[in-house]
Every structure is written in structure tokens, then in C-alpha cells.
Structure 1
Amino acid sequence: MYERELAATAKAMVAPSKGLLAADESYSTANKRFEKLGIPTTAEMRQAYRELLFTTPGIGDFLSGVILFDETIRQSTQDGTPFTKVLLDAGIIPGIKLDAGAEALAKAPGETVTQGLDGLRDRIAEYYKMGARFAKWRAVIKIGDNMPSDRCLKTNAHALARYAALCQEGGLVPIVEPEVLMDGDHTLERSYAVHHEVLKTVFDELYIQGVEPDQMILKPSMVISGEKSPQQASVEDVARWTVKCLLERVPAAIPGCAFLSGGQSGELATAHLNAMHVLFKDQLPWQLTFSYSRALQQSAMQIWNGQDANVAAAQKEFYHRAKLNSAAALGQYQPEMEKIA
């Protein structure tokens, strides 16, 4: 029923030089970020901040889509324009986060499984009517002693695949996000091995559930050293090992991979994406782009700091970060570009 629409939307989501803004922070996540900056943790302030992002002049030049949260997709600008219309008018596709967060996995200490499958078909239908045309579901994979377990990998992969199948049935392009956390002291090689197994397990389940690869987007984490590892990989090594893993495990039929930043700084996430394009150029069977949250908007949030007087400056910073990542998605980023003229 939705095959052509889904394929066209998926392709548009990873159009060259464009990426996704992950503005789907839950109440608790958004409030934690506000608290660190002394910004009041109210619905009004969350609305004001998202309006700042979505109404940034020219932002549609660099963003193909925005992932929204349930609260956000129902909100409007101060003049009453629904956020979904604001995005569509800017040429940006609205999307929605569908998972209900990670909970402890039974008999797997320290590991989690993502919730949200109950009632998912009805929620997909509601969000489609509200204007969403893609969705996101995040699985959380930790690296540690005896982690990740086979139970964790298979349970999360099965949930991701069921979610993706339901999305395609209901007209939403599923973003499949198996995030391997950078928390810990693991090496680059250990990160690669875990990513390799995660992607194998996920795509096996996607196949079993009948998910069409040309109608979905993969949102992977990068193969990167643990943040506490004494051996931090170079930008070039992260790019090489990440693309090597993707080439070995991701079907060529996938339109694109939109990386999460996973706690990286804005500059580092941009540099890693750029290096993948510089090193591999035309060897990639799919588009590689960004789907960042903090790496796109944290510096803008700090500048805004909840003050109306700072909106223009914050928008300038947000625009600048998006422009740099757009350049990285073409392999045209240079560190000197970090300076704002």
C-alpha cells in the first residue's frame, strides 16, 4: 500500500548533503540538559527551545528531517503554527520517536531491552495522520564484562524488527537504531567486534520480519574506542573501522546510514563523518550522513540559555553546526570551518 511512498521518503531522508536532527529527547532527558544550564524545566521552555531550532532561517538547506517526541509533535509556535507545518514549509520531513525507553532485561544484569511494542500499530496510525512520515526506535547495547549477551542482542533485535515491520505496514519509514554505547574502557577492536555482531543479529531479524531494506534507514553508532580507554583511536581509524563494519554487514539496498553522535563532541562527530567520505569516496553503496542530537544542538542550547534575547545568536550557532555537518556528509569539511565568520 505504501511501498512507493516509503521508498521515496527513505531516499529523501538521506539526500546528499542533508541529515537528520534528533529532537526527540524525552521529558527526563530534555530536563536534565536544561537543569545543567539552569534553564527552567517546563513544557513552555521546551516548546520555546524547539521553536528556536525549527524556525532557524535556512535550516532546511541542511536538514532532510527532524525526529520529534510525542510532546513536540503536538506543539505549535507562539503564533499557533503546528511544528509539523513549520517543518514541512521548510522542506523538512517530520518524524516521531516510537520507543518507550529501555528497561532492565530479565536475567541479564546490567543490560536492557527497549519497550513500546504494545499498542504500536494504533500509535503509528495516529502519528501518520498528524503528519509524521518516518519513525525511530533505539536499542541500547553496552560493552563490558560478559556484555553484550546473546539474550540482549537477540531480544533487542527482535523488538527493532517488529517495530520496523509495523512502521512499514502503517506508512512510516523506520529508522532502526542499534546503539552500541561508548561508555567503558574497551578498545577500538572490541567495539568493532560488538558492532559486527549487533548488525548481523539485527539484519537477520529484519529479514525474518519481512522488513523491506529499501524502505528503512539504519542509524548506527560509530566504531569508536570506549571513552575511558587509554588507547583513543584516531579520526581516520574510526572512519576506517566503521565503514569496514558497515560494508561487511549492511545490505547495499539500504538507502542510507544516518549516524548517531553517541556523546561525541560536535567537532569530533563532524570530523569522523567527514573522514569516512574522504577515505572511501565512491566506494559506498549507500549514503552516509548524520542524525545528531547533542552534536548538533548542544552549543546552541548553551548560547540560548533560556533567554529570548539570545535566540538569534543560538540560531546562528545551530545553523553553523548543521552547515558543517552538511559539508562533512560530502567530505568537504575542514577544521578551519569551525570558526564563524
Structure 2
Amino acid sequence: MGRGNVNLEALNKVADAMVQPGKGILAADESTGTIAKRFDGIGVENTEENRRDYRELMFRAKDAMTYVSGVILYDETIWQKAKDGTPLVKLIADAGSIPGIKVDEGTRPLNGARGDLVTTGLDGLPKRLEAYYKQGARFAKWRAVIDPTGGRPSYAGLVANAHALARYANLCQEFDIVPIVEPEVLMDGDNDIDQTYAVTEWVLKETFQQLYYLNVALEGIVLKPNMIVPGKKAAKQASVDEVAQMTIKCLKACVPAAVPGIAYLSGGQTDELATAHLSRMNEIGGFPWQMTFSYGRALQAAPQKAWSGKDDNVGAAQAAFLHRAQMNGLASQGKWNEVLERQHAA
């Protein structure tokens, strides 16, 4: 038993498996409202059956799943069964991947702060974690949202989010579930890369301070941060090399070496850019953690478009999923390049 009566050996084994070289995490945990937007874009009705069919095609894509260490699921999905009656969590496990679960319940404004949002979902979490573990989940995810637009977040907003992340992580470890700790500094605004760096540094330092206060064993977590990229509306964008160098610098200044790995969110980057940034960081190296991906849109946009709700397109969708999973698997080892991207896409 580890720190605070936590089964650290079991947690560390799962965390290491989640960030093993050549593999990364598929974020398939879109809420019903979020996946409605994705389905609207491809002309698919947002029904439970369609959501099930879409996710089933990914989990049955055995070639693509060889590059997927774990899958983050939404509450609806973790209880669903495939068309033939097989639980979806069994499909994931049979593909050699680890089932995980999103446990936060979205955000709400923090009264009196600078318009900051705080993530909710701690009430009743112990009971939910117990049920999710029985259903096969071995890791969980909780996302805090930090908006750097117009300056730094309020201190109240930052501390509230960091403390909630630490409370969640503490509870997960109590139930033998590895917490993915996700403090996301958004890239939707006009913040330049230096502003992103400053806010991310502050967020990460406060998050790890709260994890320490809440007795969270760092060897049994996975960090899911944003990369240090300028906002989409920033006048000056950044090169792949600049993003990679700045991200490594920021994380080395803030993240203890005890953390097994870092699985980056794509944060709305284009598929290929998210892959390029990850690969360049691993090519540079010189850091103590495994660095891999935990992508949603950057893995799924292409297969969603290829599928478009038609059974006849399942093969094409699985091929598109394989391509992106394979490219990101290479990126997690610093081995991706544009030539390979084009060769495999052909």
C-alpha cells in the first residue's frame, strides 16, 4: 500500500500502461449535447442507437485500437451494449485497451469571480466511482476550464478549480481508479503564446500544490494539459518548434518527475498540427515523463466524416481512425513526419 493507504502499485501499473510509448488515449467522452454538434456536421440524427453504433465501430477497429492505450467514456456509453449484446467495455478490453470514464458534470459560473467557470460533480462521486469500477473503468477524467482571454483568471477561480481537481483525484485513488488531471487553458481567444505560457504555468503550479495538500500520490495519476499554443484569434501564431520548446519548458518548470506521463489534449488544433506538435516534443526529449496524446476531435473528426451515419461506410471510417491513431502513435515516439503522413493517407 502506498501513500495514504492507496494501492499505489496497482494505480501506477495502470498509469504506466496509459502512457506507454506508441499508444495514447482516445477521448470518446463527448456529452450527448456535444456529440449532437458533431453529428449535425455530418447529417446524423443524435439518437442513442446512432451514438452507440458510431462508438462501436471505433472500438471494433482492432488495427486502430492497437495504438489506443485507453478510452475515456461518457456515462451513457459505459453501460451500453453493442448490437450483438456485447458490453462496449468488453470490446475495449478485448482490443487490449483500458476503459475509463468522464466523471465531471460540466461547469457553472463561480459567483463573484472574474466570470470564471468552476467544474462540478464532486457530490455523489464516491458512489459513482464504486459503480464505474465494477463496470470495468480503471481510470477517470475531470476537466477544469481556464480562460486566459483578457488577462489571468481570478485567483478564486483558479484555486476553486485546482482544489476540485485534487478532491476528485483523491477520491479516484481511494477507489483504485487512476485520475486523469485535466486543467485546460483554452485556445479560443486572442492570447499570444507568452500569455498562454504565463497562465498555464500558474495553473499547473497551483494544481500540483492542491494535489499535494490532498495527499494525492503523483505516481498514480496522468496529467492532461494543454500545449503552449497561442489563441486561435491571436495576431501572431507560432511555429511547431516554438510550441514544442515552450511546452516542454513550462512543464519542466511545473510538473514533478514522479508523474508517470502526460497525455495532451488537442484543444481544437487541426488533426495534423496536434500530431506535429506532439512528435516534435518527443523528438526534442530531455524530460522525465512519457508524453503522449489524449485526443478527441483530432482522432475522431476524420472517421466521423467518413462514416456519416451509413453502415456501408463503417470500413472507411475505421480506416480513417486507423490512420490518425497510427500517426499519433508515431508522434508519441517522436517518429512522425509529413512524408509518413502522406504515404499512409494515400
Q: Calculate the TM-score normalised by the size of structure 2.
A: 0.96
What RMSD, in angstroms, separates the aligned Cα atoms of the two structures?
A: 0.9
Match of 2:333 among 300, 314, 330: 330
Moved more, 157-166 or 102-111: 102-111
- How far 1:202 sits from its partner (Å)? 0.2
- Residue 243 of structure 1 aligns with an amino acid whose one-letter code is I
Question: In the alignment, which of 62, 81, 92 is matched to residue 87 of structure 1?
Answer: 92
Deviation, 1:146, is 4.1
Match of residue 182 from structure 1: 187
Counterpart of 1:303 (choices 301, 306, 310) is 306
Q: Which moved more, 1:171-180 or 1:100-109?
A: 100-109
Task: Give the 3-state SS of the residue equivalent to 2:339 in structure 1.
Answer: helix
Asked if 2 retains the 8 angstrom alpha-carbon contact of 1:266 and 1:294, the reply is yes
2:102 alignment counterpart: 97
Deviations 1:232-273 (A, max 9, x none): 010000000000000010000000000000000100000000
> Bigger CA drift: 233-242 or 55-64?
55-64
Map 1:52-71; keep pairs closer than 5 Å. 52-71=57-76
Equivalent in the alignment of 2:44: 39
Instruction: Return the letter of the residue paired with 2:53.
Output: A
Pick aligned residue for 1:199 from 196, 201, 204? 204
Contact 1:143 1:183 in 2 (8 A): no
1:294 aligned to 2:297?
yes
Q: CA deviation at 1:226?
A: 0.7
* TM-aligned CA deviation for residue 76 of structure 1: 1.4
Tell me the amino acid that sits aligned with residue 41 of structure 1: N
The secondary structure found in structure 2 opposite 1:233 is: coil
Deviation for aligned residue 1:109: 4.2
CA–CA distance in structure 1, aligned partners of residues 54 and 121 of structure 2: 27
Q: State whether structure 2 residue 136 is matched by structure 1 residue 142.
A: no
Give the alignment of 1:91-240 within 5 angstroms: 91-240=96-245
Cα distance in 2, alignment partners of residues 45 and 246 from structure 1: 39
For residue 3 of structure 2, what is the aligned residue in structure 1? none
> Post-superposition shift, 1:337?
2.2
Tell me which residue corresponds to 2:266. 261
Equivalent pair of 1:157/1:202 in contact (CA under 8 Å): yes
Letter in 2 for 1:97: K
Q: State the match for 2:287 in structure 1.
A: 284
Residue 247 of structure 2 aligns to which amino acid in structure 1?
T
SS of 2:62's equivalent? coil
The aligned counterpart of 2:79 is: 74
Residues 9-48 of structure 1: pairs in structure 2 closer than 5 A: 9-48=14-53
Partner SS state of residue 179, structure 1: strand
Q: Structure 1 unaligned segments of length 5 or more: list them.
A: none
Q: Secondary structure at the match of 2:278?
A: helix
Contact 1:59–1:90 under 8 Å retained in 2: no
> Would the aligned equivalents of 2:299 and 2:321 in 1 still touch at CA under 8 Å?
yes
DSSP-derived class of the 1:66 partner: strand
User: Where in structure 1 do 4 or more consecutive aligned residues deviate above 3 Å?
Assistant: none
Letter in 2 for 1:169: E
Which amino acid in 2 is paired with 1:326?
G
Q: Tell me, what secondary structure is at the counterpart of 1:58?
A: helix
Whether the aligned pair in 2 keeps the contact of 1:66 and 1:92 (CA below 8 Å) is yes
Q: Matched residue of 1:300: which SS?
A: helix
| Counterpart-to-counterpart distance in 2, 1:62 and 1:144 | 35
User: Distance in 2 between the 1:58 and 1:145 partners?
Assistant: 44
| Structure 2 CA distance for aligned equivalents of residues 146 and 93 of structure 1 | 38
Aligned partners of 2:42, 2:116: CA distance in 1, in Å? 30
